[in-house]
Chains A and B, each alone.
Chain A
C-alpha cells in the first residue's frame, strides 16, 4: 500500500476502490483513457436465449411441410402480386397526401377565432377519428345504397373499390393528422403570434405565415409514423376488393389453397415497404432537424454527424 504513493499511475495499480489519503499524490491521467468495458452478463444471457429460441423456431418451420417456402418464393415476384404492391403504395401515398391537405384545413379551422369553424373542425375530428377505419371503408363502398347516382353517373361505376378505399382512408387519417398538426401549432410559443400581430398581421395571417411554418418540425416525425400505419391500413381495402396487395394474395390463394405461403408473401412485402418508409422517415427527420436554424451551418460543412465529429477531433489534434 505504501508503494502507491510513489507510483506514477496509482489508478492503474491501486486497489479496486482507491481512496486517496491525506499526503498521497493525486492521480494523474495524461494518456487518453482506454478503459476496459465491464462484461455485460445480462446482455450475453439474453442473447443466448434469444438465439436458441430463434433457432428452434426456424428449425421447426423450415421442416414444416405446410410452409412451402418454394411456393412463397415463386409468388414473391409474381406480376399479380407486384401489381398489388403498386396499388398498396399508391393507396398509401395518395391517402396520406389528401389527408394531410384536409388536416391542415381542419387544424386551422379548430384553431381559428371563428367559433363556428372551430366547432365544425372538432366535430369532423370526432367523427372521422371515432369511426373505425374498416367501418368507414365499408360505408364508402356501399354509398350507392344512399345515393344511387352522383351527378347523373351510376355510383357503383364511379366509386370502385380503389376509390372507395382511398376516400375512406383519406378521411379517417385526416382526423388523426388534424390533431397532429394542431399539436404542432400549439407547440409554437404564443410570443410568435404576439410579435406577428404587433407588426400588423391579423391573427389568422400570423397563424398561417409565422406559426405554421415553425410547427412543421414538430409535425414531421409523427407524420412519418402515421404513414407507416397507413401502409398497413391499406390492407383493410381488401374487404371491398380494393385490388391492393392483400386482395391479390387472397385472390391467388382462393384458387390454389396455398394460404400460408401466400400470406407470408404479403408479410414479407409489407415488411419491405415499412422498412423503406422507416428509412425515408429517418432521412426526412434529419433534414428537418438540420434545417433548424441552429444547426444549419454544421450541416452544410459535413453531411453526417459522425463525419463532423471526426473532423473536429483531427483538427483539434493538429493544433
Chain B
C-alpha cells in the first residue's frame, strides 16, 4: 500500500507513524501515536518526561517492538511483515538491515568503550557495510572534522568530555549514511557548558538536508532549527505543527504549561 502512496500520505514521506500503541508491562506508554515526517524535514518532539517520546524513538528502529499500529521508514515497514495475510515479527537480520539506514544518537552517548573515536566511526562502514578500510577511515576523518574533533581520532571515549563523546556518537551514526537520524535527548546528560557544542553540531547536520527526529528539552533549538514541533503528553500527540506556531501559540493548556516550565 506504500507503493502507490494513497491519499493522506505524501510521496516523499520518510517516516510514517500510524496509530502506534506500546505497553511496557501494564503501562500503556504510547496510546495511538500518528506522526509523519517528510524527507529533509526536521521534527522536534517535546513533552514532559514519561510522555513516551523516548519509547517512540526506540520503536522507530525496533529496539522496542510496537504492540499496535504501523511504523514505516522510507516506505518499508519496520519490525513486522505480512506473509499470506499473517503478520510475523521480522527476522533479526532483516531488522538489523533496516536499522543500518536509521541513525540513532543516545542520551548517554553509548560509544563503544574499547575503541578509539576513529574506530567507533569506522566500525559500522567496515564491519557491517563491508567498505574498504582505507575509504572508511578517510570518510571517518571527514566526519570527525565536521563535528570538530579531527584531533581526537586516537582518543578513547573515557578520555573525552561528554560533549565530545556525543559529537563522536553523531559522527558514528552519520558514517552509516542513514536516511533518517534520530536524537534521543542528546544534550540531557551533558554539563550546561557542553550543550552548545552538541547543538551546534546538530545544526550543521540539519543544514545538510538530513531528515531528523529530535527528542529534546531544548526549546531554543526547536524554535531555531525545527520545521515542525510535536508535543506529546501521556502517550498521545497533543500538538503537531510548524515550530513557531506550536511554541508561540500553543493550543493546549498542557503545552503552554510545559513551555512555561522549561523556558
Chains A and B belong together in one complex: yes
Within 8 A of B (CB), among A193-222: 194-205, 209-210, 213-214
Residues of B within 8 A of A201 (CB): 96, 128
| A290–B205 alpha-carbon span in the complex (Å) | 36
Which of A191, A195, A198, A292: most chain B Cβ within 10 A? Answer: A198
Residue contact A199 to B157, C-beta cutoff 8 Å = no
Residues of B within 8 A of A113 (CB): 92
Q: How large is the interface on A (under 10, 10 to 19, 20 to 34, 35 or more residues)?
A: 20 to 34
**Interface residue? B149 (CB, 8 A):** no
Q: How distant is B168 from chain A, measured CB to nearest CB, in Å? A: 11
Residue contact A294 to B110, C-beta cutoff 8 Å = no
Q: Which of A199, A292, A296 contacts B124 (CB 8 A)?
A: A199
How does the 8 Å CB contact mask read for B19-34 relative to A, with 1 for contact and 0 for none? Answer: 0000000000000000
Chain B residue with Cβ nearest A217: B114
Residue contact A195 to B102, C-beta cutoff 8 Å = no
Residues of A within 8 A of B156 (CB): 293-294, 296
Residue contact B128 to A200, C-beta cutoff 8 Å = yes
| A194–B63 alpha-carbon span in the complex (Å) | 7
Q: Which of B96, B106, B157 contacts A200 (CB 8 A)?
A: B96
Given A200-B96, A202-B92, A203-B92: A191 and B110 interface contact (C-beta under 8 Å)? yes
Q: Which of B63, B93, B102, B157 contacts A202 (CB 8 A)?
A: B93
Given A194-B106, A201-B128: A214 and B96 interface contact (C-beta under 8 Å)? no
Given A198-B61, A201-B96, A293-B157: A191 and B108 interface contact (C-beta under 8 Å)? yes
| A192–B169 alpha-carbon span in the complex (Å) | 12
Q: Which of B63, B114, B172 contacts A199 (CB 8 A)?
A: B172
Residues of A within 8 A of B228 (CB): none
Residues of A within 8 A of B111 (CB): 195
| A298–B81 alpha-carbon span in the complex (Å) | 53
Residues of A within 8 A of B173 (CB): 198-199
**Interface residue? B127 (CB, 8 A):** yes
Q: How distant is A58 from chain B, measured CB to nearest CB, in Å? A: 51
Residue contact B63 to A214, C-beta cutoff 8 Å = no
**Interface residue? B243 (CB, 8 A):** no
Q: Which of A191, A195, A213 contacts B114 (CB 8 A)?
A: A213
Given A191-B108, A209-B127: A202 and B96 interface contact (C-beta under 8 Å)? yes
Chain B residue with Cβ nearest A188: B113
Residues of B within 8 A of A192 (CB): 110, 112-113
Q: Which of A195, A203, A205, A296 contacts B112 (CB 8 A)?
A: A195
Q: How distant is A211 from chain B, measured CB to nearest CB, in Å? A: 10
| A194–B111 alpha-carbon span in the complex (Å) | 10
Chain A residue with Cβ nearest B62: A197
Residues of A within 8 A of B103 (CB): 198-199
Residue contact B124 to A200, C-beta cutoff 8 Å = yes
Q: Which residues of B contact A (CB under 8 A)?
A: 61, 63, 92-93, 95-97, 99-100, 102-104, 106, 108, 110-114, 123-124, 127-129, 156-159, 169, 172-173, 176
A-B pairs with lowest CB-CB distance, top 9: A293-B156, A200-B100, A195-B110, A191-B110, A294-B158, A198-B104, A199-B124, A202-B92, A200-B128
15 additional A-B residue pairs with CB within 8 Å, beyond A195-B169, A293-B158, A296-B156 = A191-B106, A191-B108, A195-B111, A195-B112, A197-B96, A197-B99, A198-B61, A198-B104, A199-B99, A199-B172, A199-B173, A200-B97, A210-B112, A293-B159, A294-B159
Q: Can you report 9 residue pairs joining A to B where beta carbons are below 8 Å apart?
A: A189-B108, A198-B63, A198-B106, A199-B100, A200-B124, A200-B128, A202-B92, A213-B114, A294-B156
